[in-house]
Structure 1
Amino acid sequence: MLNSNGATNNVFSPVGEDKSRRIASTNGQLPTTRGKTAFVMNSNTSKECEICNEDFSEGNHCPKVLPCSHSICTLCVEQLIAGNKMNCPFCRKAFNANSANDLGTNIGLLKLLKYVSELEISLKAAPVNMKGKRTSTLLKMYKAENKEIYDESAGRCTKAVYYIKRSIQQNSSVRESLIDVRKMIRDEIYPALEEIEQRAETHIGFLGEEIEKMQRQAKAVSRQKETIGEVEDKMQGAPDFSHIDPLLEETEEMIARTNDVMGDLKKFLIKNKETREEIEKRTKKIEDMVTAAKDSLIPAGEKQEDEIDLSSEMVAMATEEDVPKHLNISYLKEMRRPVQSSLQKGRIYAVQPQQESKRYAQITVKGDNEFCLHHLRDEPPNCEFHTVDYDDLMKEMNTAPGLTFLELGIGQDCLGRLLIRLSPPGTNKAHHFFLLCTGEKGPSYANTNCLKVLNKGDDKTEFAVFGDYEKNDGSGGKAIIPGVDWEEENQKDEYGRSWVEGLVGGKSTEATAAMFGIFLRDNPGSEMPGCFGKVEKGLEILTDALAKNPDMGKCRIVDCGIVFSM
């Protein structure tokens, strides 16, 4: 890689004599390799890897695309990862991968190289007088293929132009809404607020005056009461009452004035009620205006989050790059084709929010209409991934058949999966097993050991014991759901009792409710209370492991989860 001064930067040193060369530039001349000119335009169109100078091919030198769009071969990527130098050799942008398989392949470049190789072989093999004819035939074939690619690209571009135009129209609508909102605030909301404030000040002043009148009237009435009391004292023993006539007239006048004040106060209260109602109406109108303004300011993308174009034309054109970062349930259910690649690569996860963190459950494909939801983990994926809400997924998924899976392994080797059908799926013991397969309550069966094999070699009673998520030694595995009488559960009639091959379960207590046995032999005529499921597929994986590995303590459950459909 060339620095700003024209010198060569050594990113890392590939192993081998042929990989020790570096790309250099001298007076603007292109570098040569093995006597031939390499058409090095950039890292995306080079015929060979610009690190080791080896021609790209489908083997160890398969072109891998880094997140920055530069391409280098698989062997060079592996050496970068092994040397913990996970930066693009050309632009120094960091990338994250455990192996070269985590990165995409530059399929377009491989096709181009294949076409060039076929063309060269054809030209070399053809006689001199046939070269022009064969070349013409190949060119016609490439022209036809390129026309198909062009037509498809043109269709996608037409769609893109349509959505761009629609976005421009939506942005124009938002701008017009902003102008309308600003005009509404200036012409309606501000004057309405000023009017309400003025009315409130007027009525507050009027109310203050009326209160002062009432206070003066109350003092006058109090004085009149005292005067009447004095008159009554003087009237005792006085036969002549003529001198109190003026006082009675004054009292009547005072009562009339009081009635007038009370009438004015009543009118004021009625008027104040009408004003309050008017203020409430105007306030409600303003609230509606503000709500409408907020709605008009929501970006079009947010308002149309669930309005995904699911037409057959768009589904056929969609690719993995078209899958949004966060999927809603309808997208996952309806657009199976564009998410198929992401599901097969294990890049779709259900996310369960916690108080201070998140948990992640991988979703993979089992069949045409069946998915596998793996157990929840605390660690986020170490690659690019898409998400879906865990709770929304659990509401939509169909788990009525109660199908779960346990993936077994020994050391670094994966043995395969046991598919276990819960029967009946709605009972306490089956539900408890279901929750430990999903990890929804915290613990799960993942990374737990085979604890022991009881009655080993017995043709009738041999069975393997698993499930101690607490201590992994057979002394733990307490219940994760409270309030269940496990002794009573063991005796319920809905749990299977006939001892048959593949039966799952056994007697449980509060302290060991998570532990279970898988019965490996038929035992006609015998009963085993407390069983809740049966291995539907994969029992031979466990029996073969038992036959080949005397120490079954090395066997463990490496993964677990449930199978569902939507």
Structure 2
Amino acid sequence: MDEHEVNCTVCMEPFEEERHSPRTLRCGHTLCTPCIEALLDRAHHDRLCPECRKPLKISAVGHIPVSYTILRLARALSSATSEPHIRVQVEDGETCLQHGAPIMSWCQKCNVWRCRECKCPKECTVFMNLPEALLHIKQAYVDCTNGNISRLADQKAIYEKKKSEIEKEMLALREKNKKIEENLKRFDASIDKLEEYEAQTVEASSSRRLDKVLGLTNSFLKDMETWLGDLKRSAESEKSSSLRVAPATVKVQAPVPKPEVPLTGPLDFASLKERLKVSQSMYAVQEKGGRTRWAKLSINEKNLLIHALDDIPPPIGATLLPLDSVTAGMSPNKPSAFLDVTIQQRLEGNVYMTMFGVTPRSQNFLLLCSGALGPCFKGLQLKSSDIGEGKPKLSIVLLGPFPNGQDCPPLVEGITDGGSYNSNIYPGLITGYPADHSSSAFQIMLEDMVGFTYDYAFGSVTSGLAVIQSVHREVKGNFREALISDCGLIVPLA
């Protein structure tokens, strides 16, 4: 009896009592217990004998008794085999096609199966018997397959990560699209509102009604300008250029009224107050090089503040004065200027400063406060520092970089050191930098330095020194941002 006759015809494993006990089906064919259990795990219509394809009408493997006769035959054949280590299982395809003898071994070097009669083409002397060869090839296949599965799993993880990132980007795009749709709706509503005001203006039949409509229009345009500014800042803060909203570059403008006739005589507090009662706002106009710019005017105690020049036109109905006629009232010997300082976008206070005289350094400082020649201190940062080696150190507040990241050279010529610029160091002293530095930056001293002088001083703080001290404390100690939110010139009123 050949060994394959006492093997399971499905798994080809030899029958034995512990793991592959034989059980004979009603159709007469014998399978091992694990193979019958595998058949019973299938659906009812698929439970068929693998030999004759007859249906299995059982629900549990225990309903089929163990075939002890076949089990005894398997034991007898196993004990009668002289060389169990080269026992072969002969099934379809397990015989040599050339000699018809059972396959006995495998040459790994030549990758050929051998029977007892086969000779290896390369005259190899080391062979692997059939069970070992089957196990070796299976293990190699499993290892290769596991490697491929691992590589595929790694690639799958990469694509899953990409999918997650795309889903996040799509969510961000949906949020941004929602905001854009809201902005578009507001644009449409604003256009409709302006068209409504335009119709009311055309239909106005009295000066009172016309003034009312113009006032409503001006208030609405101011709100629009604030909103467009918020849109622009939001667009500039976007980190991804592909998701960036186009910044608003077109400014809403009201009809520009013509300047009034220049004032005659010195500016006085009473006349300006009367003008403000009528117009509610007052601006100085600069016409230079074909360009028109406006500086807002406001009154603080007995001083007229000329705010930094801007390209935004004033509201309808504002009182307009030529800039030259307004600045003519400045103190001829000790001109003054102001800075509005914010910390973390909150107004900290106003700083008033008086120049030591009309010098190139003070003139350069005043030009940058007013923006008369273009460059301006408005919007620049204030920094904090302690200078000097050892103790005591000198605490100062100084101007940060200009918008281009570089320093602004002086706007006037003739800046020197020493002479009238020499001064003792005390809190509130305003100084520049050495003339050879070609810088328009300034610094404000916060402490006394007995026995020391500066050769670049040109003015001092007359009011608001506590604001500068707060800047030094918050910027240096709490790492907060301080800005010059506004600046300009001061005209004393008679």
TM range (shorter): 0.3 to 0.5
More helix as a share of residues? 1
Report the TM-score when normalising by structure 2: 0.46
Greater relative contact order (Cα < 8 A, sep 6+): 2
Report the TM-score when normalising by structure 1: 0.40
